[in-house]
Amino acid sequence: MTTKQDTTLGLVLAGGLARRMGGGDKPLIRIGRTTLLKRVLDRFAAQCQGVIINANGDPARFSAFGLPVVADGVAGFAGPLAGILAGLDWMAAQRPDFAWMASVPGDCPFLPDDLVARLHDARVKHAQPLACARSRERHHPVVGLWSVTLRHDLRRALVEEDVRKIDAWTARHGVAVADWPSDPVDPFFNVNTPQDVASAERLADAAGEAIEDDR
- Determine the length of the chain: 215
Rounded CA-CA distance 152/167 in Å is: 17
Peptide bond into 129 cis (omega under 30): no
Q: Which pLDDT tens digit goes with each residue over 74-104?
A: 988 889 999 999 999 999 999 999 999 999 9
Q: What pLDDT shows up at residue 208? A: 59
Q: Around Cβ 45, how many Cβ atoms within 10 Å?
A: 15
Q: Please give the share of the chain, as a percent, with pLDDT higher than 90.
A: 72
Q: What pLDDT shows up at residue 209? A: 58
Residue 190 has pLDDT above 50, yes or no: yes
Residue 166 pLDDT grade (very low, low, confident, very high; cuts 50, 70, 90): very high
How large is the average pLDDT for residues 9-13? 97
More confident residue, 163 or 24: 163
For the ranges 43-47, 186-190, 201-205, 206-210, the lowest mean pLDDT is seen at 206-210
Q: Around Cβ 55, how many Cβ atoms within 10 Å?
A: 24
How large is the average pLDDT for residues 93-116? 96
CB 52 within 8 A of CB 67: yes
Rounded CA-CA distance 137/124 in Å is: 21
Q: What pLDDT shows up at residue 201? A: 86
CA atoms 6, 52, 18, 29: torsion sign? positive
How large is the average pLDDT for residues 5-22? 72
Give the containing element (helix H, strand E) for 154: helix 151-159
In the chain, what are the domains?
Answer: 8-206 (3.90.550.10)
Residue 44 has pLDDT above 80, yes or no: yes
C-alpha triplet 76, 10, 125: angle, nearest 5°: 110
Q: What pLDDT shows up at residue 106? A: 95
Residue 210 pLDDT grade (very low, low, confident, very high; cuts 50, 70, 90): very low
How large is the average pLDDT for residues 148-170? 96
Peptide bond into 68 cis (omega under 30): no
Rounded CA-CA distance 13/83 in Å is: 7
Phi-psi region of 207 (alpha: psi -120 to 50; beta: other; left: phi over 0): alpha
